[in-house]
Structures are given as structure tokens and as C-alpha cells.
Chain A
Amino acid sequence: MTVVASEVDSSTDVLDALEAESIHIIREVLAEFERPGLLFSGGKDSVVVLHLLAKAVAPARVPIPVVHVDTGHNFDEVIAFRDATVERYGLNLVVGSMQEYIDDGRLRENADGTRNRLQTRVLLDTIEQNKFDVVFGGARRDEDKARAKERILSLRDEFGGWDPRNQRPEVWSLYNGRHAAGWHVRAFPISNWTERDIWAYIERERIQLPPIYFAHEREVFEREGMIRAVTPVSQPNDDEPVLTRTVRYRTVGDASCTGAVLSEARTVPEVLDELALSTLTERGATRADDRISAAAMEDRKKEGYF
């Protein structure tokens, strides 16, 4: 009943297989849950998940809202991109605003002014208030040691917490979305994609991204070996000179803790060439929040981070 195919190769094959697997997962989640949402930051991974969602239901419209946990520390270009994307797909946008939480005292600003870790509270409240029983996310297992351990359908308890020691096994392509009342699920359909797969797919599918992913001139300063943009939420100290550099971003996060990389890559093929030569991981190069400890991501995920 089986045949052996011995021909090897072609990266198109890899993208086809990853795309099909992701769409299979997305369709299972759409069918098995009552109220799904898509966590959408405007970053490349959530943009790819949205593209896959549209393919999974085509020609029908994307049937679920997109959810943005807005830290208030955004790059303007990303917010503009978010709104244009929502418009283009005809989506409902749900925003959880951290600024509101800070303004009315539900959250206190961290001493260092970064807000990444604080967003967990806003995320969990937004999930609860909208009665989402599942939210899609663009997390990939190649991003981080803790993410390498997470299931594609990740159960979260009533506090949104993740228990890495007690995960539901996932076998074959059978995804079990059932869960106890009050719990919810985080669904990660692009778990098996690498950063390189994402960029190759963006190129193949001609997917639009926020312009900060491509080389541009920007006023920056250096802190702890990372290149930070000068923005209203990230200002240089007196001993940190402001320089004009040609940079781009590998991830989209808070302007207050996301670093840029020096780059001349102005197109997707140029980004792919640059990645082939890079000796730094995506998050290691650009995310200050992951540098706190070897288990920074794990600790945040146990609290309910996405």
C-alpha cells in the first residue's frame, strides 16, 4: 500500500508541506472552537498566519476577529500597517490597550519603562472579556528554547498559565481542542516554520509587511550592544550618542525593547541573503526582554504570555 519516493529536494516542497500542515491545523481549530481570535501584532509571523487563515477558508471571508494587545509603545509604521491590513481583509479589530490600564492604575509602569512583560495581564483580560476559547498566535518553535517545547495546541489554565511539565500529547495530525470550562487554548499553526521559511514564504506569496522590516535610515543609539531607535519611548542617555544608521528590524515588538540590525537589505530576496550569512538568532539579536535570563521566555509563558 505504500510507495517509496526517493527524489530529494526543492525548497518549494518544504513550503508546500508547511503551508498544508498549517492550513490543516487552522481548519481544525476553526471547526472545533466556538470563539477563535487571531493575535495580530503586525509582525511578520502574525501576518503570515493571517495569510494562511485566509487561504484556509477561501473564497469565504476570514471569519474571526484580530486581536491587538497594544502596549502603547508601537512603531507608527506598524500601527498604520495593522489598520490597512484590517481594512483590506475586512476584519474586526479588537484592541486591548495597556495605556488605559496604566492611566487608570490597574497596571504600574516598570522602572525601566519597558512594557513587554506587563502585556500578559492585558492579553488575559482581553481573552476573558471577549470570551475567546482559542487564540491563534504566530509563535515558532525555532524562536526560543521554551517555545521549542510547546505544543501546537497549547492548553492554558484559568489563569492563562502554561505548564511545560504537564502538556497534552499531540499524535499524528489529530488535534484535540477540548478543554475544561474556564481554560482556553493558544493555537500555533506555524510552530514548525523557521525564520527562513517565513521569509521564503513571504517572497513566494508576495505578502506585504510593515516597512521597518527593510533597510531604512533612522536615528539610533547603542545600549548594551543593541541598536535602539530614538522614539518618544526610547531616549538615549547623555553618554549614548545619537547616530544616523541604515537599519532594519528582524522582529516587531515594543519600540522600547526591540533592537534594530545594521542592514542594507531593502527587498525580501536581500533579507534572505542576509539571513543566510547571519550568525545571530532572531530574538538574541533584537529582543532585550529575552536577555533577562536563560529562561526568560519560559517564565513569561508560565504567567500567561503568548
Chain B
Amino acid sequence: MAHGLFRLATAGSVDDGKSTLVGRLLHDAKAILADSLDDIRRVSAERGFGGDEPALDLALVTDGLRAEREQGITIDVAYRYFTTPARSFILADCPGHVQYTRNTVTGASTADAAVVLVDARNGVVEQTRRHLGVLGLLRVPQVIVAVNKMDLAGWDRGVYEGIRADVEAVAVELGISALSVIPVSALDGDFVVDRGASAPWYTGPTLLELLETLPVVVEQHVPRLDVQLVIRPQGALQPGYDAEEFRDFRGYAGTVSGGSLRVGDAVQVLSAGRPYAASVKGLRSTTGPVEAAHVGDAVVVELDTDIDIARGDTIVAGELPEPVREFAAEVCLLSDVPVTPGQRVLIKHGAQVVQAKVEGIDHVLRVSDFSKHPADRLGLNDLGLVRLRTAVPLAVTDYRDSRAAGSFLLIDPQDGTTLAAGMIESDAGAAHGAAAGRGVPEHAAA
């Protein structure tokens, strides 16, 4: 697992200055090359940005589409890359408006940390609660709240402390455990990369210092591999491989999504809903044979028995999750096609796509306060708890235990549209709608 690569997502309401913050971070971290900077300087000047004292409109760094530049808004998630001596970063810059939930989910699902912007003049608003709620639900390991536009609040310590107290209270309510709150000015640059001299009272890290030192959280769930491809060359070998040695080669290719797999491990294979026992005869990584493979490694597994294993089957070292055909999940609607009870859908879980039916909707979450309300359908950007029934049993895991084995997509069987992103809640499934009576979401557990 790579600790040198850090995935970061941003979230913020319109006009909180999120694009400017990202632009500032990249600019001050010297991640923008001269010709891009010239382009930004030219467009900023053409528009008279900064008035009498021409300045750089750093929002232009991320707003790359024609419509974004024309309207001064961010339309879709943009990915940016920068490297410091400490780390390489993949930054998903998520727009804050209109399709907020869908975009935040897209950018934050794989993030190691997320930065939420708050405008110092407005404090915690409904959008802040919404963003924090979604990040909590997605279990983003670290949340950073950047209190922006502190320059417009006179760098008043009381303003910052007040917002910090509010944010901490909301975070506790929404189940976010790892939280940092930083005062910044994206426009002037204070506490983004450089400290500046505006707020001697703030002794915490700058945004970049924090990003460079936050720990990477690695899930160590039961060792698991979802079979993506069965590799059986039958004589059609790449140059350099010995025909004799690989004559009967049969390997199962996939990415390790929890723990470590080792040669000699006893494993269980879930194939078409039935468990089989086997042991790991060999492991091949991208460099050749290895003794062990770890979370995130793309490998090929050889087993000692002749089970007929196909794409979508799951290999688990240790206890296999009880395969189930019915489960409950919190879903976020990503398309404008609604989800309704009785609907036929496809579920993509791990490397398999199976038929399923929406059995019922337990509730829709009001994202501003995460209160639960009855609903007979879920529409675009809605979050809600649904009960699903699948055609074949799935080895699902609670999302709280594994982001990889606990997540899935709902897909429209007709045109392939991705309808929703789902997070499995194993305890809600059994109790047939009992979840509607629960209080705050239990993913609060840290």
C-alpha cells in the first residue's frame, strides 16, 4: 500500500472561494508551470480582476471548461496533481452547487481526506452540514474545515473560535471523528501554504502542513479478492514465458481489497452463491511470483483445487461473510431516474453484476439535519435507506468495516445508467424497517 500517494477531495458552497483555495494551494506549492500561469495572468487582466491592483484570479486554475470560465462557476469534478517533498497528491475538486451531493460523493468516495470550506462571514450554513453529513456517511477518514475569507472577517479570533465550536458540534452529531479546523484566506494566501502575518494567535498547522502529515488510513479487513478475470492462456503466452511451465496455468486476477493474502493460506471461494474451500498455491504480482500480496495490490492467484471459478467470485482468507440475498443500504441517487419500490435494477458489487429488486424504501434523509422521513421514491441527490433483494447471494460486508466490500452501484438494466452509489448497513437489513426509528446514524462510531 502506498503511503506516498494521498487522495484529497474538496467541498464547499458556491462562492465560498473553493476554486480560489485550490488555485492558491497549487500556486503557492509551485505546482503551476509558467505557461499556465501566463494564461491565468492574461485572462485575469482581460477581466480587470483585482481592479486597480491587477491580481491573479486563481479560480481559473481549476475552472477549465468554456462554460465554467464564461460563468465563473465550477461545473464538474476536476482532478489536479501536485507533489511536495513529502507526498504526491491527487486532488478531486468538487463543485458545491446544484448537483452537490452527487459531485461530493464522486470526489470523496476514494479520498484519504476532504477539505470543506466555510465562509468566515456566514459560519456553518445548511450546505456545510450537508457536506459534512455526506463525508461522514462516506466515512472519509479525515475532514479538514477551512474557515475561508478570514481577511474579510478582520482575522477576528472570536469569529474563528465560534465557527470552530459550531463545526465540532456538527461533526460529533454526524459521526466525524478526525476533524481539523484552520483559518485561511485563499485570496491572500495566509495559512494555505505560507503562514502570513495576519493571525499570530493561530499556532496550528497550515493547510499544506496538515495535508503532508495526516496519516493514511489503511483498511485491514478480512483478506479478500474479487475475481476480475480468469487468466488461462492455453498456449497463447506472452513472449518470454516458458510454454512448458505455463501449459496448464489457471490464475484468478483481481485487486486485494483487505488484509494480506499469502501463499499457503487456506481460503474460501464464494462461487455462484456457494462456498468452496481451497488454498493459495501461488501469487503473481506485476513483478512475478511473490509470497504475499497486500491491500491495493493487483495480483493473480493460483489455487490448489480445480473449482470452476469465474469473474465476480470472491476469494476470502479467513471467515467468509455470510452470503445474503437481502440487505439494507444507504444509497445516494446519482441520476435523475428515480428509485422506487418494486424496481428491477442491476447491482455492481466487487467484480460482479447481478440482478436485483428494490424491495422497499425505509426512509429518505433530510441532508441538512440528517433526520429521517418516510418516502415512496428517491430522486436525484437524495440519500436514503433501501432494502434490496438479489438474484444470487452476495458476500457483502458492512460499509463501516470495509469501504471496498461494503460499497456497490445500482445500475439501470436498460441503458446502463449509474442510478445510485450504495453503502451496506448490515444491522439495518435484518430489522425490516426498524432503522426508521433509529436516532443519529450509527456510523458515528469512531
Contact = CB atoms under 8 A, between A and B. Distances in A.
Interface string A114-143: 000000000000000000000000000110
Contacts, number: 227
Contacts of A299: 66
B229 A171 contact: no
A26 to B, nearest CB: 9
B286 A55 contact: yes
Interface stretch (A227-235, A247-255, A264-272, A275-283): A275-283
Interface in A288-304: 294-295, 298-299
Nearest to B139: A2
B426 interface: no
Interface stretch (B35-43, B192-200, B263-271, B383-391): B35-43
A111 interface: no
A3 B259 CA distance: 10
Interface stretch (A36-44, A99-107, A144-152): A144-152
B435 to A, nearest CB: 21
Nearest to A284: B35
B400 to A, nearest CB: 8
Given A24-B255, A28-B351, A8 B86 contact: yes
A5 B218 contact: yes
Interface in B231-256: 231-233, 236-239, 241, 246, 249, 253-255
A83 interface: no
Contact of A165 (B33, B76, B238): B76
B355 interface: no
Nearest to A180: B415
A243 interface: no
A23 B33 contact: no
Given A5-B215, A59-B238, A176 B296 contact: no
Interface residues of A, number: 74
A294 to B, nearest CB: 7
A1 B220 contact: yes
B64 A148 contact: yes
A1 B238 contact: no
Contacts of B220: 1-3
Contact of B334 (A90, A169, A180): A169
Given A14-B88, A62-B238, A149-B78, A170 B416 contact: no
Contact of B232 (A60, A89, A146, A281): A60
B357 interface: no
A134 to B, nearest CB: 12
A65 to B, nearest CB: 14
B425 to A, nearest CB: 15
B35 A10 contact: no
Best-buried of B4, B348, B409 by chain A (most CB within 10 Å): B4
A287 B446 CA distance: 50
Given A60-B231, A280-B35, A149 B88 contact: no
B404 interface: yes
Contacts of A173: 110, 255, 404
A8 B4 contact: yes
Interface stretch (B101-109, B120-128, B156-164, B316-324): B101-109
Nearest to B236: A61
Interface in A2-44: 2-14, 16-20, 23-24, 27-28, 30-31
B228 A5 contact: no
A206 interface: no
Contacts of A55: 286
A147 B33 CA distance: 17
Given A171-B109, A279-B34, A5 B236 contact: no
16 contacts: A4-B215, A5-B215, A11-B88, A13-B4, A18-B5, A20-B255, A31-B311, A54-B238, A60-B236, A61-B238, A149-B64, A169-B105, A172-B403, A176-B418, A178-B346, A279-B35
